[in-house]
Amino acid sequence: MRPLIVIGNWKMNGSLASNASWFKSVCRGMEQGMPAGRKYAVCVPTPYLAQCSQLIQDHSPAFLSLGAQDVSAFSVGAYTGEVAASMLRELDCTYVIVGHSERRQYHRETDEQVAEKALQVLDNGMTPVICVGESADERNSGREVEVVRGQISKQVAVLQDRLADCLIAYEPIWAIGTGKVASAQMAQDMHHAIRLQLAEFDEDVASHVGILYGGSVKPDNAVELFAMPDIDGGLIGGASLNPQDFLAICQA
Ligand code: PGA
């Protein structure tokens, strides 16, 4: 049985003061009781990882884990500005997002680089959250499954059965930050297509891997999305910035 996992992605938001008050509210809310058998995490900007790790320890280590939003594809060396997976591990990260569509769009990240990043994350004992998803044009021309299959097949080629230790986040680009959420059935159909594709490679991997949905998840649509058989949770952008909304989605 795959656990439901809700992961916040703050993107480039936060400050020392607002982070402290977010953790206070969310951890206090979680202490009131959370549904059993679920996992929760928040991926914060790199400069805040140490602060947020301390805040989690101060408040409520049992409920919430920490994650990062990107990582270097290299393990160590002359890569100015890059952050190694071993460094994220030292800062208590459990999850690392790789291949978010904003990284693919603004930093030209390729599927091959995304897979190399996922390997770095796995080699350092953390869980990569591998993002895939189609653009509006690709969906409007009926190519969404083909596009996502292409992204997944590159991950399968490099990661092989280590994919069982990864999470996949299906995030249709047209739904990210736009308020245009994919309908629960639309999301379920793509999650099912991804699971079938993984089963062509290995049934065991397909049944183990958690597939999260991301793209304008809000408290009022999370229940319906999370009820779908192939949706194992969510990657939450904008709504994760508001402690009450994030808590409501965690409880959905
Ligand atoms: P959103 O972002 O929830 O603001 O649409 C999701 C994401 O980009 O991970």
Please name the residue whose Cα sits nearest to atom 1 of ligand 1. Answer: 237
Domains of the chain: 4-250 (3.20.20.70)
Answer whether 216 contacts ligand 1 (Cβ < 6 A).
Answer: yes
Which of 217, 220, 249 to mutate for ligand 1's pocket (most ligand atoms within 8 Å of CB)? 217
Token output for 250: 């965690």
Answer whether 188 contacts ligand 1 (Cβ < 6 A).
Answer: no
Answer whether 133 contacts ligand 1 (Cβ < 6 A).
Answer: no
Nearest Cα to Cα of residue 55 among 32, 24, 29: 24
Q: Which has more pLDDT, 59 or 123?
A: 123
What's the pTM?
Answer: 0.97
Atom of ligand 1 at shortest range from CA of 102: 8
Give per-residue pLDDT as tens, 219-249. Answer: 999 999 999 999 999 999 999 999 999 999 9
Q: Among residues of the chain, what percentage have pLDDT more than 70?
A: 99
Please name the residue whose Cα sits nearest to atom 6 of ligand 1. Answer: 237
Q: Kindly give the distance from the C-alpha atom of residue 238 to the centroid of ligand 1, in angstroms, as a whole number.
A: 6
Look-up of token digits 């982070």: 19
Q: Among residues of the chain, what percentage have pLDDT more than 90?
A: 91
Give per-residue pLDDT as tens, 167-178. Answer: 999 999 999 988
User: Average pLDDT, stretch 209-214?
Assistant: 97
pLDDT (0 to 100) of residue 63: 84
pLDDT (0 to 100) of residue 71: 98
Q: Kindly give the distance from the C-alpha atom of residue 246 to the centroid of ligand 1, in angstroms, as a whole number.
A: 12
Atom of ligand 1 at shortest range from CA of 131: 9
Atom of ligand 1 at shortest range from CA of 240: 3
The Cα–Cα gap between 109 and 27 comes to 34
Instruction: Specify the DSSP element, H or E, that contains 163.
Output: none
3-class secondary-structure state, position 52? helix
Which of 216, 218, 241, 250 to mutate for ligand 1's pocket (most ligand atoms within 8 Å of CB)? 216
Q: Kindly give the distance from the C-alpha atom of residue 96 to the centroid of ligand 1, in angstroms, as a whole number.
A: 15
Q: Kindly give the distance from the C-alpha atom of residue 214 to the centroid of ligand 1, in angstroms, as a whole number.
A: 6
Query: Given the DSSP bridges, would you call strands 210-214 and 167-170 parallel, antiparallel or unpaired?
Result: parallel
pLDDT (0 to 100) of residue 61: 61
Give per-residue pLDDT as tens, 53-101. Answer: 999 998 866 789 999 999 999 999 999 999 999 999 999 999 999 999 9
The Cα–Cα gap between 118 and 121 comes to 5
Q: Kindly give the distance from the C-alpha atom of residue 172 to the centroid of ligand 1, in angstroms, as a whole number.
A: 10
Q: How far is CA 75 from CA 46, 87, 88, in A?
A: 17, 10, 11
